[in-house]
Amino acid sequence: MLPSSPAEPPRLAAPVNPGACSAEAASFERRLLAILDTLPDALFELDLDGRYLDYHSPRADLLAVPPETLLGKTVHEVMPAIPADACMAALQEANTLGFSTGRLIELRLPAGHRWFELSISRKSNGAGRSVSFIVLARNVTQRVASEHKLQRLTDLYAALSQCNQAILRCTSAAELFPIICADAVNYGGMKMAWIGTLNAATGLIVPVASSGEGTAYLQDILITPHANQPSGQGPVGTAFREARPVWFQDFLHDPRAQAWRARASEFGWASVAGLPLTCHGAMYGVLSVYSGTVNAFDDSAQALLLEIAQDISFALARFADERERNRVQMALQDSEERYRRVFHTSPDSVNINRLSDGLYIDVNEGFERLSGWTADEVIGKTSQEINIWRCPADRHRLKRALNRDGHCYNMEVEFCRKDGTVATALMSAALVRFDNVDCILSMTRDMSDIRLAQERINQLAHFDQLTGLPNRSQLQERFEFVRQLAQRNGESLALMFLDLDHFKNVNDTLGHTIGDRLLVQVSQRLAGVLSAGDTLSRMGGDEFILLLPSATEESASQMALKVLSVMAEPFIIDDHELVSTLSIGIALYPHDGDDFETLSKNADIAMYRIKRSSHNNFCFFTPEMQSHSARRLQLSNALYFGLTRGEFLLHYQPQISLQDGHMVGVEALIRWQHPEFGAVAPSEFIPIAEDSGQILAIGEWVLRTAVTQMKAWLDAGMKPMVMSVNLSTVQFRHPDLLALVMQTLQMAGLPAQYLELELTEAMAMDNPTAAIALMNQLHEQGVRLSIDDFGTGYSSLSYLKKFKVSKLKIDQSFVRDIGDDKDDRAIVTAVINLASSLGMQTIAEGVETPGQLAFLRLQGCDEAQGYYFSKPLPVDQLEAFAKTMTAVP
């Protein structure tokens, strides 16, 4: 403990009085000194206060102060407090017990830290003299270092053991890491430990767990794994980057730790290690441990710490495996659950049968719904036992497909339900293996509803819903079939177009329900005359087509006559007795066309011819009709420009009072002078204009021209009379008619009583309620109304009474034959009487002879017009007629 100076030999055993000693004693002392000198230990003599009385130390490097300063000082003056206190305690013990051994003191000497073990014995200096102590200070530095090392290793082993226990216990890194850090501190003798992982967003290694004193050190610490940055040079960054353990044995003096030095010195880090943690070989993070001792990580410590790191890495791999296993397990459970759900909730029938014997192993609710059998009833039985196959052939087909391909898709099968009803189904099946048993997995979709729906769709697509007859598309298919047959056999066939006459009247007067029932009865009656192979089809409305395979002109005529004759009988619907006739047009294959479109169009043209002429008849298509039809098209196109090019004009036919023979009115009749077609009769172009809708513009022009003309005549002083203007059906139905009439009168300045609108009987009866309303309005405005062609249609007397009509016009067809036909005479007489009884006037048209005039006059007809008086005349000629005419006799 005190230096021995080379100039000054060790003192404790020097001869005190050489002269007084015997030679033997001197020799003994010399030997003793020699022995003491050879000992590595220092010897001191101290008093009870710890004051140095003497010393002997051959090793000056083991003394804390120069030896010459030692004597007379106390241990507290020579040593730091801790070792001095320990020394004093040992002295006290020796004073009490006579000796003290084994106390250790640590001294920081220039040569480094040294540990000394004190052995003290009390020295008795004789009575009356104070006691002193001989202190032997043995340098045990190496032994203590070994012990410390051993302790560290023991600690680290303890830490390793704790870590391993934690590793076994924990199931995740989040759970394990804090325990590892705590174990490194609590058991491994580390001051602080933490685990960091790379934050992908910031690129920094950030603590995820830490323990020990000084974790504040980690607050906002900057550590990166980048080699080119100072913050990446430390043990953690390097370990992460290079995936190897990094040991900083003297952290505060290591240049690589420059970035953290100031911060680290506050916390007293002496050694720092960074240990890479991996998961399945991939870098995961770094375990960093901090020791307060320089060179804390010797080989053994390093090996142990590495083992801890490796065990953690192993645990991380295990956690990952565990997670993956859990994931797979979950996925498996999920898929099982899904399968279970799919199996049970599938709307389709699913059943699993054992391949070897066909026993049902499992069925779902869909199976129960489809078959009516419950799972309990079928599991353990075969399909034959429950007789589920309606046709055994289906089962054999399935077996063959499975044997051949191992599966079958969408096989159409029929099943017998438990209640005996039959289900149509689509079945898919495959060979599968469940629980090591070969099975057949079958999925079956009940198609019964779909089949019904398909049949319904088919019905809708191919049949007329009202009559149940084939519709156009079905007829076309049928036509194609019989046409090919006819072509192969060199035969003809007939296509008949049938249209009910005046069907609209039935609909309008009796309502659509009656109309529909009439159509049904007509179709039934027509179907009754068909031969096998004939096809009757409804085209919609009141149109039918009859397809007659192998028909000639003659056989088609016979059929047409047959059809007309079965229609002759009235139809009874509720209280109504309806007579309904047909107009029939016939086209023959191949003469009149070789495809459906052409033949049906030509048959339609032929039918139209009948409609326009006689009704209730038939005719065959002729090419002349075709050209007529072509002319219709040309006229329709030409009409488009007729108004703008001023091709129309009005002629006026005088109307004569049969009482006094004076002209009481004129009927405006349109004339069309086309530059190419010449004069086109109104009877030809008016229906075309009506069909194309151009009649509205033409009618408006007629009304305006006639009204303006009448005003001009009145203004010119012509005797007041009535201007009669024809209205077409389309005009009459137009909602703006009233407004148009009133506006036209107003613009022309003609009082309403000078205008008479002629509508036909059919127009009035078309929709009698609406007609009555309109007539009332026109009547209220002072406009006169007359009914043209009276007697040609079906006028209901009850309606007629309600019509605000001032005049009935007797159709010229009756007037024409007055002389020869008593029926016509009777009709004319009846009409005149009817009008009279209803308070209406009558005017006869088409009067050509004095005889006709005489008859009409005799019957009390009020007025007449016709060639007998005058043809329809252009304006100037009418004016001349008016001026020159004298009362007709």
Residue 41 or 845: the one with the smaller Cβ distance to ligand C2E is 845
The minimum distance between CB 533 and ligand C2E, in angstroms, equals: 45
Overall residue count recorded for the chain in this entry:
889
The minimum distance between CB 524 and ligand C2E, in angstroms, equals: 37
Q: Which amino acid is at 662?
A: H
Residue 196 or 699: the one with the smaller Cβ distance to ligand C2E is 699
Is 669 a binding residue for ligand C2E by CB under 6 A? The answer is: yes
Among 471, 478, 866, 878, binds ligand C2E (CB under 6 A): 866
Is 744 a binding residue for ligand C2E by CB under 6 A? The answer is: no
The minimum distance between CB 710 and ligand C2E, in angstroms, equals: 14
The minimum distance between CB 789 and ligand C2E, in angstroms, equals: 6
Alpha-helical regions (H) of 584-694? 596-613, 623-642, 682-692
The minimum distance between CB 811 and ligand C2E, in angstroms, equals: 7
The minimum distance between CB 726 and ligand C2E, in angstroms, equals: 3
Is 655 a binding residue for ligand C2E by CB under 6 A? The answer is: no
The minimum distance between CB 518 and ligand C2E, in angstroms, equals: 29
The minimum distance between CB 854 and ligand C2E, in angstroms, equals: 15
Judge contact between 90 and 75, C-beta under 8 A: no
Is 726 a binding residue for ligand C2E by CB under 6 A? The answer is: yes
Is 653 a binding residue for ligand C2E by CB under 6 A? The answer is: yes
Which residue of this chain has its Cβ atom nearest to ligand C2E in the complex? 866
Is 848 a binding residue for ligand C2E by CB under 6 A? The answer is: yes
Is 786 a binding residue for ligand C2E by CB under 6 A? The answer is: no
CA distance 126 to 109: 37
Is 189 a binding residue for ligand C2E by CB under 6 A? The answer is: no
Name the helix (H) or strand (E) containing 722.
Answer: strand 722-726
Say which residue the tokens 């394990």 belong to. 176
Euclidean distance between the first and the last CA atom of the chain, given in angstroms as a whole number: 179
The β-bridge partners of 494 are 548, 588
Residue 287 or 668: the one with the smaller Cβ distance to ligand C2E is 668
Name the helix (H) or strand (E) containing 11.
Answer: none
Among 41, 788, 862, 863, binds ligand C2E (CB under 6 A): 788
Is 694 a binding residue for ligand C2E by CB under 6 A? The answer is: no
Rg (CA), the chain: 65
CB atoms under 10 Å from CB of 491, counted, come to: 16
Helices (H) and strands (E) in the chain, counts: 29, 31
Is 763 a binding residue for ligand C2E by CB under 6 A? The answer is: no
| Four-residue CA torsion sign, 829, 831, 837, 839 | negative
Judge contact between 453 and 443, C-beta under 8 A: no
Q: Is 266 exposed, middle or buried, given 0-12, 13-18 or 19+ CB atoms closer than 10 A?
A: exposed
Instruction: Pick the piece of the chain touching ligand C2E (CB under 6 A) from 236-244, 267-275, 517-525, 865-873.
Output: 865-873
Is 499 a binding residue for ligand C2E by CB under 6 A? The answer is: no
Tell me the two tokens of residue 96.
Answer: 């009490």
Q: Which amino acid is at 360?
A: Y
The minimum distance between CB 732 and ligand C2E, in angstroms, equals: 9
Instruction: Pick the piece of the chain touching ligand C2E (CB under 6 A) from 17-25, 140-148, 665-673, 834-842.
Output: 665-673
Q: Are strands 42-47 and 132-139 parallel, antiparallel or unpaired?
A: antiparallel
Instruction: Pick the piece of the chain touching ligand C2E (CB under 6 A) from 219-227, 384-392, 519-527, 725-733.
Output: 725-733
Residue 277 or 703: the one with the smaller Cβ distance to ligand C2E is 703
Residue partners of 492: CB distance under 8 A and separation at least 6:
486, 550, 551, 552, 553, 588, 589, 590, 591
The minimum distance between CB 850 and ligand C2E, in angstroms, equals: 13
Question: Contacts with ligand C2E: how many residues (CB under 6 A)?
Answer: 23
Phi, psi of 302 (to 5 degrees): -60, -45
Among 198, 408, 686, 856, binds ligand C2E (CB under 6 A): 686
Of 156, 167, 157, 224, nearest to 196 (Cα)? 224
Alpha-helical regions (H) of 737-874? 737-748, 761-766, 768-780, 797-802, 812-816, 822-838, 850-859
Among 132, 442, 728, 744, binds ligand C2E (CB under 6 A): 728
DSSP structural state of residue 3: P
Tell me the two tokens of residue 623.
Answer: 């090419």
Q: Which of residues 828-847 bind ligand C2E (CB under 6 A)?
A: 845-847
Residue 362 or 848: the one with the smaller Cβ distance to ligand C2E is 848
Judge contact between 131 and 95, C-beta under 8 A: yes
Residue 424 or 813: the one with the smaller Cβ distance to ligand C2E is 813
Is 54 a binding residue for ligand C2E by CB under 6 A? The answer is: no
Among 236, 286, 702, 844, binds ligand C2E (CB under 6 A): 702
Residues in contact with ligand C2E, shown as a per-residue x/- string from 801 to 820 under the rule CB under 6 A = -----------x--------
| Four-residue CA torsion sign, 365, 370, 373, 378 | negative
Is 97 a binding residue for ligand C2E by CB under 6 A? The answer is: no
Among 22, 219, 436, 683, binds ligand C2E (CB under 6 A): 683
Of 63, 302, 269, 261, nearest to 160 (Cα)? 302
Is 766 a binding residue for ligand C2E by CB under 6 A? The answer is: no
Judge contact between 599 and 501, C-beta under 8 A: no
Site residues (vs ligand C2E, CB under 6 A): 653, 668-670, 681-683, 686, 699, 702, 726-728, 788, 812, 845-848, 865-867, 872
